[in-house]
Amino acid sequence: MTLNYPKAWYEHRIALEGDLEIGAGSPPGCRRPAARPAAPPTLETRIAFGTLVELWRRSRGWDAARLAEEAGVAPREVLEIERHPEAEPEPRAVHKLARVLDLPAAVLLELAGLGTLATPSLREEAVRFAARSAPVAPLSPEERDALESFLAAIHRRSAQRG
Amino acid sequence: MEENEKKTMTLNLTPREMAVLEELAAKKDLSKTGVMKLALRLLQAVDARTQMGHKFLFENEKTKEKSEMILV
Amino acid sequence: MREFRVYLKETATGRLVEASLFDDISDRHLGLWGDTWEGAMEAHCRGRKAGEQPEDHHWDWKVKAEAWRPVLGYHSFALVCDGGLQGLMWVCDFRSARIPAQFGKPLVYVEFLASAPWNRPEIQTPPRYRGVGTVMVGAAVELSRELGYRGRIGLHSLPRAEPFYREACQMTELGYDAADEGLMYYETTDKQADWFRRKR
């Protein structure tokens, strides 16, 4: 292989690179940091949180990448929230998703196991919602009903918090 | 990557094998030698992963059905 | 192992300085990685939440070398300047292109590419050297040409590096890849590679 670009080439190309980040590569194949195991109450509500995010975006015909773009978070953060309830999401990511989902951030933080522990009634609603949701099929009328009921519960909890 | 010293090999192919080689060369926009070298690297890489206990699978994109490719 | 003369821009002086690109990550390079990159990365990550840490901070280049050195289809590159390790890259030469016009044709796929911590504005301001990405993408393109792939390369960009591949390298963006942690996949055609190699 030859690699003999003239200095002028480097001047021009390096100016274009500037201070941009350059990293490439996908995390599989690397050592991944181990996720901290969640306490059972937190795990239940996190499963519901992940399911809520997934069903909400599917109800709009969005893939995970579109939701990530709208929220201003990395696509893998959305995928982690949806698929890995054992991992603690970043509070910043939950706030950003709350804005896009137009839901109270404080309650989503409870569901995500961050900050105040979710009340028993919210936990119950969360478990009921997650149990009624089919993970792969398009949103069925039942799933849509379940989603609407759970959203109403979230708003009720928000009203209680004041 | 270029080795310091290259070795030459003569390869006898049946008409059918040559036809496949020529078709792949055209499809992949490679010389026939390029195709053979690519095949060698691919086979070695698959073999290395299989030795590690990984499976070599095909997945149907539409149905998500998986089938295993067993290589000797 | 071959050594190529390349150039980086030294931020302190604004001048181009000579650097060496090796087409093999040797044990010496891995030693430099362990001795210099790891510590700087750890110091930067201390106290920072997961979302604020460099996305590649946990990459283990020794593990990668152990897995891929015996495999013909994997090639590695190490960039050294002033005795310091400035960049590392592993590529694979048996993956296929996805752009419809060249679908199925082999390309050089960048498996992993990283710059030394002190060359990253997010870690050090100003960065010590600029141009690591340029040198490495140039190397991938030239390897692609050597293999008969006409300069075709592909890669998944880490999220913060998307502007570099999209704008500075003018690579084609093919969308977020759900099969690859949702990272954006980029690819060059042979024409785009020619553009990249053009002197001005």
Q: Assign residue A55 the CATH number of its domain.
A: 1.10.260.40
pTM equals 0.67
Peptide bond into A104 cis (omega under 30): no
Q: What share of chain B is helix, strand, coil (3-state, %, to 5)?
A: 45, 10, 45
Q: How far is A17 from chain C (nearest CA, A)?
A: 6
Q: Please report whether residue A10 resides in a domain.
A: no
B neighbours by CB contacts (3+ pairs under 8 Å): C
**Residue numbers of the domain that contains B51:** 15-68
Residue A60 maps to a domain? yes
Helices (H), chain C: 27-32, 38-45, 61-68, 132-146, 162-163, 190-197
Tens of pLDDT along C140-179? 999 999 999 999 999 999 988 999 999 999 999 988 876 6
Candidates B1, B30, B3; CA nearest to C139 is B1
Q: Would you state the pLDDT for residue C150? A: 96
**B34 found inside a domain:** yes
Per-residue pLDDT of chain C (200 residues; tens, 9 = 90+): 999 999 999 999 999 999 999 999 999 999 999 999 998 988 888 888 767 788 888 889 999 999 899 899 999 999 999 999 999 999 999 999 999 889 999 999 999 999 999 999 889 989 999 999 999 999 999 999 999 999 999 999 998 899 999 999 999 998 887 666 778 899 999 999 999 999 65
pLDDT interval class at B50 (50, 70, 90): confident
β-partners of residue C186 are C155, C173
Residue B43 and residue B54: Cα distance in Å, rounded?
14
Residue C53 sits in a domain whose CATH number is 3.40.630.30
Q: Are strands B57-59 and B66-68 parallel, antiparallel or unpaired?
A: antiparallel
Domain membership of residue A45 (yes or no) is: yes
Interface with chain B: mutation pick from C4, C71, C96, C98, highest number of B CBs within 10 Å = C71
Coil vs helix vs strand at A20 = coil
Residues (pLDDT < 50) of chain A are 28-39
Compute the distance between CA of residue C93 and CA of residue B39 in angstroms, rounded to an integer: 11
Please give the pLDDT value at position A31.
33
Which residue segment(s) compose the domain that C58 sits in? 3-197
Predicted confidence (pLDDT) at residue B45 exceeds the cutoff of 80: yes
- What token pair was written down for C144? 């692609």
A6 domain-assigned: no
For residue A89, what are the contacts with CB-CB under 8 A and spacing of at least 6? A46, A77, A80, A81, A112, A114
Dist. CA B68–CA B11, nearest whole Å: 30
Q: How many domains does chain C have?
A: 1
Query: How many beta-carbon pairs below 8 A join chains A and C?
Result: 175
Helix, strand, or coil (residue A110): helix
Tell me the two tokens of residue A35.
């996720």
Residue C146: Cβ-neighbour burial (10 angstroms; 0-12, 13-18, 19+): middle
Q: Does some domain include residue B48?
A: yes
Contact C77, C20 (CB under 8 A): no
d(CA C155, CA C162): 11
* Domain-embedded: residue A40: yes
The region of weakest confidence among B13-17, B28-32, C175-179 is C175-179
Query: How close is the nearest chain B Cα to the Cα of C148, in Å?
Result: 6
The H or E element containing residue A43 is helix A40-59
**Residue B63 domain flag:** yes
**Nearest-angstrom CA–CA distance, A83 and A37:** 14
In Å, how far is C26's CA from the nearest CA of chain A?
A: 19
Q: Provide the shortest C-alpha distance from residue A82 to chain C (in Å).
A: 13
Question: Considering the domain boundaries, does residue A24 fall inside one?
Answer: no
Give how many domains chain A has, as a whole number: 1
Residue pair C183/C159 in contact by the 8 Å Cβ criterion: yes
What does the block give as tokens for A161? 């918090």
> Which residues does chain C have within 8 Å of residue B1's beta carbon, measured at their own beta carbons?
2, 23-24, 75
| A108 falls within a domain | yes
What confidence score (pLDDT) does residue A38 get?
A: 42
Q: Does B3 map to a domain?
A: no
pLDDT score at C162: 92
Average pLDDT of chain C? 92
CA atoms within 13 A on the CB side of A6: 4
- Number of domains chain B contains: 1
- The pLDDT tens digits of the residues spanning C7-25 come to 999 999 999 999 999 999 9
CB atoms within 10 A of CB A143: 19
Give the domain extent around A142: 35-161
The pLDDT value given to residue B66: 79
Considering only CB atoms, C71 lies closest to which of B34, B38, B44, namely B44
Phi, psi of C23, deg, nearest 5: -90, 40
Residue B31 inside a domain? The answer is yes
Question: What one-character DSSP code corresponds to residue C122?
Answer: T
Tell me if C161 and A1 make a contact (CB, 8 A cut-off): no
User: Which residues in chain B are closer than 8 Å to C75, comparing Cβ atoms?
Assistant: 1
Cβ neighbourhood burial of A46 (10 Å; 0-12, 13-18, 19+): buried
